Amino acid sequence: MTPWRWFVLAAGIVAISWAAPLVRLADPVPVLVIAALRLGCAAPPMLAIASVRGTEDLRTARRVDLGAMMLAALALTGHFLFWIAALQKTSIITGVVLVTMQPIFVGIGAWIVLRERPSRPVVLGASIALVGALLLAGDDLGDHGALVGDLLALIGGLLSSAYLVIGRGARRRISTASYGAGVYSMTALMLLALVFASGTPLMGHAVGSYAAIVALAIVPQLIGHNAFNWSLGFLPAAVVAVAILGEPVGATVIAAIVLDEVPTLLELAGGVVVLLGVCVALRDVNATDQPELHAPVTIAGAG
């Protein structure tokens, strides 16, 4: 394994760790505008990448696969809206950690939707993560707005998990580039439609906020997520999945330095317990798995 491949994975962790701080820097731009412009900026480069690699798989895709992509885009739309809204109400460490429970949500969702019974590590990890989530929520007792933000973050995590579970079948037949380009484009169109339908103004916000949104599309969305997907071609899925758990750590450090947002001891304790639970659940991932181009493995961080 050449060192630069590990460097790409590390760069992905750093890139995706900027997602939550950049959302906070884009404040007070409306949630809809942040989400729509982020995906609107990220979709064209993904379409360009897909066109270079070829999109025959999209042109010959079955209706059921295209329908799954549409549902996945709908779930991704909801994920961004709820998660960005959560970060405007609760702390960065809480918002990111709660969404990082995604592997546990995926295990439960696969059980409900795909009838794939969760393994003992997933059940144990879910139990441990629940304790950590309660600790994080306990730190917000007495602050109604923060508690609402915690709930929004959990919903965002559930929708992100739904995005992964829904697209699992389609990803067996459609490449990562084509799938990403298709879903990103659909998501961008859905968000822009919501912006215009609601009458939310896209223009007239601070230049610094627009700069933060563009950085949000480039750094965590294009660099971060693509670095993880690229790493899946060379590293076991379990390694990449565990590496993504570095996002809450990185986001917390960046928030402390850039935004002067230092987590409380209870938040740190809750975050550690949640991440421990997720690590336990990830023991179910086959460490020798080396997914191919069309393998049904999808990795996504909170941002």
Q: 204 in the Ramachandran plot: left (φ > 0), alpha (ψ -120 to 50) or beta?
A: left
Residue 291 lies in a domain: no
pLDDT in tens, 236-267: 666 777 777 888 999 999 999 999 999 999 99
Alpha helix locations (H) across the chain?
3-17, 19-26, 31-53, 56-59, 63-87, 92-99, 102-114, 120-138, 144-167, 176-198, 207-216, 225-231, 237-243, 246-258, 265-281
Q: Report the pLDDT averaged over residues 283-289.
A: 52
Residue 289 lies in a domain: no
Assess contact for 125 and 279: CB atoms under 8 A: yes
Closest CA to 252 of 97, 65, 37: 97
Q: Which amino acid is at 270?
A: G
Q: What is the pLDDT of residue 90?
A: 92
Residue 248 lies in a domain: yes
Counting residues of the chain whose pLDDT is more than 90, the rounded percentage is 46
Q: What is the pLDDT of residue 86?
A: 95
Q: Report the pLDDT averaged over residues 214-221.
A: 95
Residue 41 lies in a domain: yes
Q: Report the pLDDT averaged over residues 217-244.
A: 79
C-alpha–C-alpha distance, residues 205 and 62, integer Å = 42
C-alpha–C-alpha distance, residues 272 and 269, integer Å = 5
Q: How far, CA to CA in Å, does 99 sit from each of 152, 182, 302? A: 10, 24, 5
Residue 293 lies in a domain: no
Give 22's Cβ-side CA count (13 Å radius): 23
Helix 31-53, helix 176-198: angle, nearest 10? 150
Tokens of 242: 């565990």
Confidence of residue 206 (pLDDT cuts 50, 70, 90): very high
**287 has pLDDT over 60:** no
The highest-confidence range among 13-22, 60-69, 114-123, 274-283, by mean pLDDT, is 13-22
Q: What is the DSSP letter of 175?
A: -
C-alpha–C-alpha distance, residues 61 and 224, integer Å = 27
Residue 100 lies in a domain: yes
Closest CA to 61 of 165, 181, 173, 163: 173
C-alpha–C-alpha distance, residues 287 and 271, integer Å = 25
Q: Tokens 């900026």 correspond to what residue?
A: 41
**35 has pLDDT over 90:** yes
Residue 52 lies in a domain: yes
Q: What is the pLDDT of residue 291?
A: 40
Assess contact for 238 and 289: CB atoms under 8 A: yes
**What total number of domains does the chain contain?**
1
Residue 299 lies in a domain: no
C-alpha–C-alpha distance, residues 24 and 26, integer Å = 5
**20 has pLDDT over 80:** yes
Domain, as residue range, for 244: 3-284
Assess contact for 256 and 111: CB atoms under 8 A: no
pTM (2 d.p.) = 0.84
C-alpha–C-alpha distance, residues 102 and 157, integer Å = 6
SS (H, E, C) 57-125: HHHCCCHHHHHHHHHHHHHHHHHHHHHHHHHCCCCHHHHHHHHCCHHHHHHHHHHHHHCCCCCHHHHHH
